[in-house]
Chain A
Amino acid sequence: MKAIVTVIGRDTVGIIANVCSILAQNGVNVLDISQTVMREYFTMIMLVDTAGCKVDFAALADILKKDGAEHGLDIRIQREDIFEAMHRI
């Protein structure tokens, strides 16, 4: 299953490394990354494949959310379908 991870917050050193290592530890494969800094806000969007994920989706979402809170970031993982449904006919 494909999902979108979004990371939004103040830019600090090591955000990408940190999120990628959490995903790797849980068996999630990163397919694509785009990242920008808009004003002082860091915005990263990753397309990932959760087919090999070792924990269930809700648990992975909680791990990312908790880690985000510790680093002052808003980290979400959502199934790709929701964005497809909203923006593509």
Chain B
Amino acid sequence: MITTNEILETIDMISQQHLDIRTITMGISLRDCGHTDVKTCCDKIYDKITKLAEKLVKTGEDIEREFGIPIVNKRISVTPIAIACECCETEDYVPFAVALDRAAKEVGVNFIGGFSALVQKGFTVGDRRLIGSIPEALAKTERVCSSVNVASTRAGINMDAVALMGRIIKKTAEITEGQGCAKLVVFANAVEDNPFMAGAFHGVGEPECVINVGVSGPGVVHSALGKCKGQPFHVVAETIKKTAFRITRMGELVAQEASRRLGVPFGIVDLSLAPTPAVGDSVADILEEMGLESVGAPGTTAALALLNDAVKKGGVMASSNVGGLSGAFIPVSEDAGMIRAAENGKLTIEKLEAMTCVCSVGLDMIALPGDTTAETISAIIADESAIGMINQKTTAVRVIPVPGMKVGDRVDFGGLLGSAPIMPVNPASPKVFIDRGGRIPAPLNSLKN
């Protein structure tokens, strides 16, 4: 039988250290929903999602009560709409976003991801229509999340898409007062089974319907590290591995149970440390617990590399299928420690960029001054894409140029999206660079240095 101490340890993790299952995400293929008529296509999308996900939220809540572990979000990802709806004879893809939003509201999920296009090598007609519809789609919907993949290690970087996405982010910010940009991610090497928003979509290699689970638990790792003060790094790594193993076992159990009850195949557990704005649920706190005065200090990249690797090593053995993004997230607005460091000037965009070389995912939830140009945003995307492309990893950019705001102001996104200080951006212009367009060729994968 399980010992008293083990039981109390688990309860302490849940009640004191914010251990939770961050999301159960149902992936749904919409590849059979295409139709030349817009209304018929929207109806097919709505009907399929509401039928398959009808019991998703209730099942999540039942598991939550029986196991006594909070399941914070129940969500849906769908086939990229640029693929699913390409045969539809319309220039305007906003109605598809509205149909997704209606379906999400009907089944009670808080986000639905997949208003997406994959354009790493070039645009199809549907890709261009979808991307052009993003600003209005995000303005007219509440729960729809959008993502665009602009680069990959195999295809290189589509610099035309990079330039376009800078303008789309600016336009989205202008018509949504910045809020829409919190639901728009630009990827390099996007994964097809990511359960986390805003970048989730159901890839074309995925089955008809699948359950993916994202675990969390920065607070638990922080607390465990608190017990090995002054110890050398191999002890730190071992402690993180053991903790990650326990967290992931919880995720695996919930994923298998949800899969069984819903009669939907289990896909993957995503081993990500996802912070929330709550005190004690911060990735920055873990890095500081390792001995840094503040996240952003020299040493931060090394600390994050250790954390990210140890989480994976611990988690991999705990689950039968690991996938998704699997790494530590560093969204500035969603992490109390990152917010603190950004506010007092100890964490800069340049340091965050360096951190993205060693962790998942990228420059995430960073608020920029309202006068940041589309070209500068495109260039930030190009830099992140280059890191992803060369290092064969996923990277992403989710930045919010908040209209009318300047460095030192603070913007509130509400709920899990948190709030963020406006961070300074290097003022030198990359306009001529971005205006070139074309493609950056795929990189060499040998002669690594």
Q: Which residues of A contact B68 (CB under 8 A)?
A: 61, 76-79, 82
Is B250 positioned at the interface, with any CB of A under 8 Å from its CB? Answer: yes
Is B1 positioned at the interface, with any CB of A under 8 Å from its CB? Answer: yes
Sort chain B's interface into a size bin.
20 to 34
Contact with A along B244-284 (1 / 0, CB 8 A): 00100110110000000000000000000000000000000
Is A32 positioned at the interface, with any CB of B under 8 Å from its CB? Answer: yes
Q: Which residues of B contact A81 (CB under 8 A)?
A: 67, 253
Sort chain A's interface into a size bin.
20 to 34
What's the least CB distance linking A57 to chain B, in Å?
Answer: 5
What's the least CB distance linking A29 to chain B, in Å?
Answer: 16
8 A-B pairs with C-beta separation under 8 A: A8-B11, A36-B4, A78-B66, A81-B67, A81-B253, A83-B2, A85-B252, A87-B2
Q: Is the CB of A78 within 8 A of B67?
A: yes
Q: Which residues of B contact A36 (CB under 8 A)?
A: 4
Number of A-B contacts (CB under 8 A): 64
Q: How many angstroms from the CA of A67 to the CA of B196 in the assembled complex? A: 37
Residue of B15, B252, B253 ringed by the most chain A CB atoms within 10 A: B253
**Interface residues, chain B, with chain A CB atoms under 8 Å away:** 1-2, 4, 6-11, 15, 62, 65-69, 246, 249-250, 252-253
Q: How many angstroms from the CA of A76 to the CA of B253 in the assembled complex? A: 19
Q: Which residues of B contact A82 (CB under 8 A)?
A: 10, 67-69, 250, 253
Q: Which residues of B contact A45 (CB under 8 A)?
A: 4, 7-8
Contact with B along A1-28 (1 / 0, CB 8 A): 0001010100000000000000000000
What's the least CB distance linking B269 to chain A, in Å?
Answer: 12
Is A80 positioned at the interface, with any CB of B under 8 Å from its CB? Answer: yes
Q: Which of B6, B69, B252 is in CB contact (< 8 Å) with A87? A: B6
Closest residue of A by beta carbon distance from B69: A82
Residue of B1, B249, B250 ringed by the most chain A CB atoms within 10 A: B1
Q: Is the CB of A86 within 8 A of B250?
A: yes
Q: Which residues of B contact A6 (CB under 8 A)?
A: 7-8, 11
Please provide the 8 A-B residue pairs with the shortest distance between their CB atoms, ordered closest to farther.
A78-B68, A85-B253, A58-B65, A83-B2, A87-B6, A85-B249, A82-B67, A86-B246
Closest residue of A by beta carbon distance from B3: A87
Q: Which residues of A contact B4 (CB under 8 A)?
A: 34, 36, 43, 45
Q: How many angstroms from the CA of A21 to the CA of B371 in the assembled complex? A: 67
Q: How many angstroms from the CA of A57 to the CA of B64 in the assembled complex? A: 11
Q: Which residues of B contact A80 (CB under 8 A)?
A: 2
